[in-house]
Amino acid sequence: MSAKLITFIIIAVIAIVFLSLSMFVVDQTEQAVVLRFGQIRNTYQEPGIHFKMPFVDNIVKFEKRILLYDIEPEKIITEDKKTLIVDTYALWKIVDAKKFIETMKTITLAESRIDDIVYSHVRNVFAKHTFDEIISDKREEFLSEVTTLARSDLSYFGIEVVDVRVKHADLPNENVRAVYERMKAERYSIAAQIRADGQKEAQKIRAEADKQVAVILAQAQSEAEKIKGSGEASATRIYALAYQTDPKFFEFWRTLSAYDSIFKDGNVIFGNELEIFKYIMH
């Protein structure tokens, strides 16, 4: 092998090594910052192959995707002076790698700043509302306000806060029992009121029913008296007609009817002088 060929091979190898050291790849989920002696030389947001100065430039890559930071549970005091332990988390992403490197430098430092700012706003916003409001549907509004405030504060660092959420908000253990007893007492009070209202309504219904029964009975009694009177009147007319048709037979029939009443007791004294016994004594 000639010296020229060896020299060419050596130069080619050096060139390949130099070229490989000069190239770096940015993935579609990443963004890169080129640092030269600690100074920012360039930033790359788009994926692809890029070049740098070997042995001089340093490449720092960050995620472009949304990151999750789980904030440690902290105590807050509500407007009605109740203590809550709030467990929150923040969704965030790096939107300006240059500004992020200049201010934060590392993800760890950024999360520390996110922790401080988000907790500060959660504490301040929740402190303006009562315990019942915080655990209600209104909490979504409060968290939206926290997200807006934290996004404004962290934009200076090249960070965008996408959302702030609460995993759960609990009372301290020492307060849980007291709140439970208060809630139980309130439920008992509501139940007692409902029972009292039910009894009152039942009494009204029974009174109305009794009134309707009395009215119906009175109407029935009145109708019965009318029917009875009508019957007696009809009987009287029938008797009168019978008497007019055959007075002697009618008198005989009435006398026999009277015997039923006279002989009912069994103690009867007969006498010829009594007109009523004329059909028996003759």
Residue 143's contacts (CB-CB under 8 Å, 6 or more residues apart) are 163, 164, 165, 166
Return the H-helix or E-strand segment holding 119: helix 107-126
**Over the stretch 65-110, which tens digit does the pLDDT of each residue have?**
999 998 888 888 888 888 888 888 999 999 988 888 888 888 899 9
Beta strands 48-51; 23-26: pairing state: antiparallel
Lowest mean pLDDT among 114-128, 149-163, 164-178, 221-235: 164-178
**Over the stretch 248-278, which tens digit does the pLDDT of each residue have?**
666 666 666 666 666 666 555 555 555 555 5
Alpha-carbon distance of 28 to 68, in angstroms, equals: 19
Predicted confidence band at 127 (pLDDT cuts at 50, 70, 90)?
A: confident
Query: Between 154 and 270, where is the model more confident?
Result: 154
Query: How many CA atoms within 13 Å lie on the side-chain side of 254?
Result: 11
Residue given tokens 């950024």 in the structure block:
110
Specify the amino acid at residue 97: A
Q: Are 114 and 68 in contact (CB under 8 A)?
A: no
Return the H-helix or E-strand segment holding 90: strand 83-94
The string of DSSP codes covering 154-208 is: HGGGTEEEEEEEEEEEE--HHHHHHHHHHHHHHHHHHHHHHHHHHHHHHHHHHHH
**Over the stretch 37-51, which tens digit does the pLDDT of each residue have?**
878 788 888 887 877
**Over the stretch 176-231, which tens digit does the pLDDT of each residue have?**
566 666 777 788 888 888 888 888 888 888 888 888 888 888 888 888 888 887 87
Q: Domains along the chain?
A: 3-63 (no CATH), 67-177 (3.30.479.30), 243-281 (no CATH)
At 80 the pLDDT is: 82
At 150 the pLDDT is: 93
The whole-model pTM stands at: 0.55
At 174 the pLDDT is: 57
At 189 the pLDDT is: 83
Mean pLDDT (whole number) for 130-134: 83
